Each structure stands twice: as C-alpha cells, then as structure tokens.
Structure 1
C-alpha cells in the first residue's frame, strides 16, 4: 500500500496541493476567497488508507476539481476519528459528484 505522505506529494506535484476547507457557507481552497457549493465541485480521485495496526490511522483523501478550474484535496479520517460529526461536512461531501479519473 502506498503511504499517505507519498500520495499527498504526488497530488501536490500535479497541482492539487491546496486543502479544501468546508464551513457553513460552503467550501474554499486554502489561500483562495471563492466559496464553492457541492454542485461546483467534482471528486476526481479517492484514496483510502487503512492503518495496519491502529484504526486511528484510517483516512481518506479526495482529489477535487472545481468548475472554474481550481483543484485541491480534502483529507479526512474515517471511522471513529472522522469529521462526520462536523455540522456541515457530511451533507456537503455527500452532494459532491464523483467522476473518478485514472491519471491521478
């Protein structure tokens, strides 16, 4: 299994180095002011990581493309440590379309 750090570096090299931050108004890529709604974003790749010895190591990275050409990633734990209890996260991410690409 490829380590999370390697995938993060590959994404950064391909221009997906900015994190998507979800809040009450929508989501934005770090360092940007544009607020996106789920309908403006597409998940183009999903990477899941499972901790071999520690369930706390379970995480997921979504490579995300915005309809205006901006790209980035969303990193989250899953299982016990996920952001699913974050008041806006689950509703937001469930409404982002998925169109996985093989070139990432």
Structure 2
C-alpha cells in the first residue's frame, strides 16, 4: 500500500498550493463555484488531478476526500469533501458525475510540477 504524504488534509493543501493549485471552490446549486470568479463548473468541466482520502485519528467517522482539480479553462485548485455519515450527498453525487476519463491515475504530488 502506498504511504500517504500527509496525515492531515491541510498538509496536502499547503503542498498543492505551493505547486499552483490555489483556487478555492464551493459546491452550490449543482455546480463547483470558483470563489474568486464566481464561475460555476459542471462535472464535464472538472478534471481530477489527484485525490486523497482521510479518516479522523480520534473518530473514524470523521472522513474526507481532498480533490485536486484543474478546470476546462485551466483554473487549478482543491476541494475538500466530507464523506461518511456527515457527507454532503449532493456534492458527492456531483463528483460521481465527473466523467471517468476526467480522472487522472496520478496521485503523486512530486510528479505534479
């Protein structure tokens, strides 16, 4: 099993931001919204460069997925999605609707330069 780089999401977020993945996204009205431009992306406009899953150390129900995203117009950023009992089901469905061919098999931060 591949060893994860970081124990907490923020460690990865910091590392990706240093590599240019600085945009922040919100999920709203069935779109992933770029916080700065307010543009709403549909699933077909999203490309998942990498994703990392986390379970809480003290509470295994505290789970999340960090998505590293590039959009069809080359905006790079991250989105943190809670999953498990506290999941946002609409946001989870949005990520399931991203076409399979838009998911990279690369999850190595060191190859994302």
What interval of TM-score do these two structures reach, taking the shorter chain for normalisation? Answer: 0.7 to 0.9
Q: Contact 2:81–2:92 (CA<8 Å) still a contact in 1?
A: no
Tell me which residue corresponds to 2:104.
99
Query: What's the RMSD between the two structures over aligned residues?
Result: 1.8
TM-superposed CA distance for 1:37, in Å, is 0.8
**Alignment partners' CA distance in 2, 1:90 and 1:6:** 23
Off by >3 Å, runs of 4+ in structure 1 = none
TM-superposed CA distance for 1:75, in Å, is 0.2
Q: Contact 1:50–1:58 (CA<8 Å) still a contact in 2?
A: yes
Which sections of structure 2, spanning at least 5 residues, go unmatched? none
For residue 23 of structure 2, give the secondary structure of its aligned residue in structure 1.
coil
Larger displacement relative to structure 2 (9-18 or 20-29) = 20-29
**Alignment partners' CA distance in 1, 2:16 and 2:74:** 15
For residue 81 of structure 1, give the secondary structure of its aligned residue in structure 2.
coil
**Alignment partners' CA distance in 2, 1:43 and 1:95:** 12
Q: Which of residues 11, 14, 23 in structure 1 aligns to 2:19?
A: 14
Report the count of equivalent residues: 101
Which sections of structure 1, spanning at least 5 residues, go unmatched? none
The TM-score, its normalising length taken from structure 1, stands at 0.82
Q: Contact 2:23–2:75 (CA<8 Å) still a contact in 1?
A: no
Q: Contact 1:77–1:83 (CA<8 Å) still a contact in 2?
A: yes
